[in-house]
Structure 1
Amino acid sequence: MKKVALLATALAMVTTGSAFAADMAVKAKKAPPVVAFDPWDIAFGGAIMNDYIFRGITQSNHKPSVAVYFEPRYNVTKDLQLYVGVAGESISFPNRAAAEIDVYGGIRPTFGAFAFDIGVWGYLYPGGTCFFGAPTDTAGNPLSAECAANALLNGNVMKKDVSFFEVYGKVNYTINDNWSVGLNEFYSPNFLNTGAWGNYTSVTAKWTAPSTTFGSSGVGVYVSGEFGRQWFGTSDSFYGTGIASPLGGGPFPNGIKYADYNTWNIGVGFTYKVMTLDLRYSDTDLSKANCNAFTSDNTATFSSSYSSINPSGVGSKWCGAAGIAKLSFDLTAMTNLK
């Protein structure tokens, strides 16, 4: 009987120990805390660059430029984002505009490996001055006293306000962790307020190096490139003179059909935390003559470069090959400021 009692006691102790062990295991596996979904986010950043190039053409007269942006975002779901933003860049335009101010907004839906971006972008150039040097344009339309009084030495002309807007659609396809490709489309009914419509289409590609390339340093690297084509319509009569006076060549009372052109760029970038250093080569196939007709470059000089829309021989270097070094930082409130 004593042996039976001892055996029963031992079994009871084992059973009790097992029960405690089970209880302890359950208590150790606490349910993860429920994190509320916060749809709001803010992205912001800035950059400094040795040259502000836009679609192959300098916006800063091949001089340094700074840029900043601020972009509130609302994530409807993890695959659908709404956004608005404002940005600013320092520029050097022939009309002496103070800066470029961008106001934009749109929607970014994602479907698997496809990321879309559809929206409207406004380019504002406050503080400009009209340069024409005559009381009427080539069609005989009267111009303001400011336009009549101010003239650029090389005969180019430019409006006081060259603000405009574009509608755009972009799609990026992520092939794998290293490769992605994209397609971009932009359209403006009045590009740079010239009276000419503008359409820009480009394809992009990007290769991102494996995260282990630089070990545990946190440095990332990528190589990317873009090839695009810009199409234009015909300007209004204001730009029908341009290079025609005083250097000769004859006016275009019906405006100028700007030359379409190709542009391309390729570069390498290095990332570390929120910083990016991008080194890039950019170029176009615009001649100096057609570049001058489009940009109204106030620094353009006689270069024996002629075209049907620029018969004076004045040529611009604003559309040629350029090297760009850009240091930028980008943060989001949800990721970087928690």
Structure 2
Amino acid sequence: MKKVSLSVAAVTVAMGLGSASAADLGKVYTKAPAPIVVSPWDVAFGASIASNYVFRGITQSNKNASVAAYFEPRYNINPNLQLYAGVGGASISFTNRAAAEIDVYAGIRPTFGALAFDFGVFGYLYPGGQCTDGQLGGGLVCPVGANAVLPSLNALKGDVSFYEVYGKVNYTFNDYFAMGGNVFYSPNFLNSGADGTYASITGKLTAPGTFFGTSGIGAYVSGEFGRQWLGTTDSFYSLAIALGPNGIDYADYNTWNVGVGFTYKVFTLDLRYSGTDLSKANCNAFTGDFTAQQTGSFSPINPGGFGSKWCGDQFIAKLSADVTLGALK
């Protein structure tokens, strides 16, 4: 019996060893799955249509509809550091009859957990403009054959292209609330000779994902309060009779906006109110509004009494679609 038991035990052990060896051999010769390679490259792009294109509280489209689009390649150095560059365009309605606004920009976006930064340079190009000069007592005249004089005698250079450097920061407290701050600086705002600095604070409250049940619709409330500081223009905009030959000192102003938005997949519908504290007189002096009317709106930099409505309270409805190539895969 002992011999039989030993034999059975030996067979059992041998079978066990044989099974183990087969398993080991299988592990050795089984090909490992190929690692998933995630490309550091991505591209964001989108388009929009708005009832009014408003930039820092001032209409750029004469309070009419505007279409826009952009294309932005991105390179992720690591999950917390992104390089980007982009180009975009929007339809506008300027006094100099520029064909469109073309934007070119580039920057870097570092993130540290809930804290996100964005640093870069932004160029605003306005091709196809025609020089408009009211010749108000000493201003430089436009080139021969290019001059266009308005009833309001407002003036605007043929080329108002300029650039800004900027820094942005945003902190996401949780899934529902975020706040941020922005600073932009240009040494030659709108090619006027005046420097410009813009600073603002922003806030956004996002509704819970279940706010509209299982419809897939999202919602948010957001707002911004900012201040635009502006310097003194070059002699093109001078009013020699009132101020001397060295240009006019643009009025600084506050601007704000608040609105609600609804999202569905790649689409966003944003409904927003925007305003500034610029008077009609100072707005006219700054914008050179070609629709300005004689309203008795006088100020030291607007002695003609013409007033502009381009800086008043405005409502904007905007429908946009934004997507990245990575999201489409």
Same fold flag (TM > 0.5): yes
Q: CA deviation at 1:111?
A: 1.0
1:209 aligns with 2:207: yes
Would you say the 8 A contact 1:235–1:258 is kept in 2?
yes
**Aligned 1:71-150 pairs, distance under 5 A:** 71-134=72-135, 138-139=137-138, 141=140, 143-147=142-146, 149-150=147-148
1:267 aligns with 2:259: yes
Change in Cα spacing, 1:257 to 1:334, as seen in structure 2 (3 Å) is: same
Q: CA deviation at 1:255?
A: 0.8
Would you say the 8 A contact 2:230–2:249 is kept in 1?
yes
Would you say the 8 A contact 1:237–1:252 is kept in 2?
no
Instruction: Give me the whole-angstrom Cα distance separating, in 2, the residues matched to 1:35 and 1:277.
Output: 36
Would you say the 8 A contact 1:138–1:237 is kept in 2?
no
Aligned length: 324
Instruction: Give me the whole-angstrom Cα distance separating, in 2, the residues matched to 1:140 and 1:231.
Output: 23
Quote the residue 1:225 is aligned against: 223
Instruction: Give me the whole-angstrom Cα distance separating, in 1, the residues matched to 2:141 and 2:318.
Output: 44
Instruction: Give me the whole-angstrom Cα distance separating, in 2, the residues matched to 1:44 and 1:166.
Output: 22
Which residue identity is paired with 1:190? N
1:149-203: CA deviation from partner (whole Å, max 9, x where unpaired): 4201111011000000000000001111111000000000000001100000000
Change in Cα spacing, 1:113 to 1:306, as seen in structure 2 (3 Å) is: same
Would you say the 8 A contact 1:133–1:151 is kept in 2?
yes
Q: CA deviation at 1:82?
A: 0.5
**Range with bigger deviation, 230-239 or 138-147:** 138-147
Instruction: Give me the whole-angstrom Cα distance separating, in 1, the residues matched to 2:139 and 2:313.
Output: 38
Would you say the 8 A contact 1:138–1:251 is kept in 2?
no
Which residue identity is paired with 1:150? A
Instruction: Give me the whole-angstrom Cα distance separating, in 2, the residues matched to 1:133 and 1:173.
Output: 47
1:110-134: CA deviation from partner (whole Å, max 9, x where unpaired): 1111111000000000000001155
Quote the residue 2:55 is aligned against: 54
Quote the residue 2:317 is aligned against: 325
Which residue identity is paired with 1:175? F
Change in Cα spacing, 1:63 to 1:143, as seen in structure 2 (3 Å) is: closer
Change in Cα spacing, 1:113 to 1:34, as seen in structure 2 (3 Å) is: same
Tell me which of 160, 175, 189 is aligned to 2:187: 189
Would you say the 8 A contact 1:138–1:252 is kept in 2?
no
Would you say the 8 A contact 1:130–1:146 is kept in 2?
no
Sequence identity (%): 63
Q: CA deviation at 1:146?
A: 3.4
1:258 aligns with 2:257: no
Which residue identity is paired with 2:77? V
* Structure 2 gap segments, 5+ residues each: none
Which residue identity is paired with 2:210? T
1:44-101: CA deviation from partner (whole Å, max 9, x where unpaired): 0000000000000000000000000000011111111001100000000000000000
Instruction: Give me the whole-angstrom Cα distance separating, in 2, the residues matched to 1:146 and 1:300.
Output: 24
Would you say the 8 A contact 2:160–2:192 is kept in 1?
yes
Would you say the 8 A contact 2:202–2:223 is kept in 1?
yes
Q: CA deviation at 1:34?
A: 2.0
Instruction: Give me the whole-angstrom Cα distance separating, in 2, the residues matched to 1:283 and 1:32.
Output: 58
1:306 aligns with 2:307: no
CA RMSD of aligned residues (A): 2.9
Quote the residue 1:163 is aligned against: 161
Quote the residue 2:176 is aligned against: 178
| 1:51 match: secondary structure | coil
